[in-house]
Structure 1
Amino acid sequence: MSDPSFSLDQLRIVLIGTSHPGNIGATCRAMKNMGLSDLALVAPRCEVQTSDSISRASGADALLAGAVQHTTLEAAVADATLVVGASARSRTLPWPMITPRQLGESLPAELAGRQARVALVFGREDTGLTNAELQHCHRHVHIPTDAEFSSLNLAAAVQVVAYECRLAWLAGAEHSRSDAAPFGIDWDNPPAEHADLERYFAHLERVLIAIGFHDPEKPRQLMARLRRLYLRARPDTLEVNILRGILSAIEKRTGGR
């Protein structure tokens, strides 16, 4: 059996605002079951290392101890080339939605380059992810539970998604590296990292305000829609540099700074 087309080390689980230590420990166990080891915690609302979390980790203590804490989602996914947010409810602004199975099937292409990283983001136990947090994600993943009882425990949701990722990894030997390239071809530049896209969005908003196209007092979801457009397009590093160059030229021509 040849090597899989991607490494499970390229996957990161991100938990935002977790309020129960046991859920963090149970998430560690779910991750270790599926061979995942990269856990990021964003502004947890509880102590991470407790007797409950260690007990629920059930042998995944090293993963729990190695979890990296961040104050913002942006910091936790800065180097990710694809960010997928778990969403259990429909939003006022539709976003590309996939199932865990579709997510798994996309991984050989998304992780064909060894510098590629996929961040899988899960929200708070009580409220999930905010609209603003979901707008940082290229796609949303939805677990098709029974509509009459759709609420999933946080660790259970991680387990379902991680399981589909593992299935895709196990099936990776069936795919050649050339077949796994983004968009079905050997792309000439790597996908832009999340941090680069965030700098672009900030630059774009600044220019749109300066030229009078965007009024932050009456946003009309403009930036959210532009985020959706560019995240759906998946620009690569050179394309983002070109886009920022265009913005800089506009600023120069209009006397902006």
Structure 2
Amino acid sequence: MTSETFTACDGLHFGYRPAQGAAPVLVFGNSLGTDLRVWDRVIARLPADWGILRHDKRGHGLSVARTGLSIETMADDVEMLLDHLNIARFVGVGLSVGGLILQRLALRRSDAMPHLVLSDTAAKIGSPEIWNPRIAAVLDQGIASISDAILSRWFAPGYAATPDFQMWRMMLERTPAQGYADVCAAIRDADYTDDLARITAKTLVVVGSDDASTPPALVRAMADRIPGAAFAEIADAGHLPCVEQPDAFVSLLKQHLA
């Protein structure tokens, strides 16, 4: 089976395909300002028998927004999907804020998640001095008012000249301002540094070498706190190596699961 079924559960839009036989199920978490399509290029390169679960965060894509959003409530949403689909064992793959969410699931469902991949993320990302002005700008003037600055941090130099760059701009700018701001606040308020040492999953940490949002030094520092974690930089990639360098990303993923 190579196709996913897309539907909604309690207002949460998700795509799912079951694994065939003993193949793994991969549960993906997206970055701020993107929807589940950010993983398209990775999924296209995975074996057809692997299971897939990906979803749109609250206030992003086709998912219904909710008040009181936090990393914990977004982790609740993923657990709801896991239970709804009877997924008892899975590999967590989290990008940016999706990595924060998967860090929580690595502790909540440690027996169910033997492998974890954290991409371009950290246990604490930014500070109120960074997030509060961004939230204010988005709510007052819209995401387009700061999209150039965001996109310059998402991608490696030169990517803006590629034919599909404007597609990612549209994905970002069409994210609802309130939904974007709510997730910004959730990231601002999260600090899971002290919990990293409790992660027992076999963990791979990757980062784009040109990531200006979560720089390699920050991501490596997180990896150093996770027992036994492997760390890899992906060349010629910014904050979204799954978009810019999907071959390299999938190669590392397959090696990790071998």
TM range (shorter): under 0.3
**Higher alpha-carbon Rg:** 1
- Could you tell me the TM-score, scaled by structure 1's length? 0.25
- Could you tell me the TM-score, scaled by structure 2's length? 0.25
**Higher strand proportion (structure 1 or 2):** 2
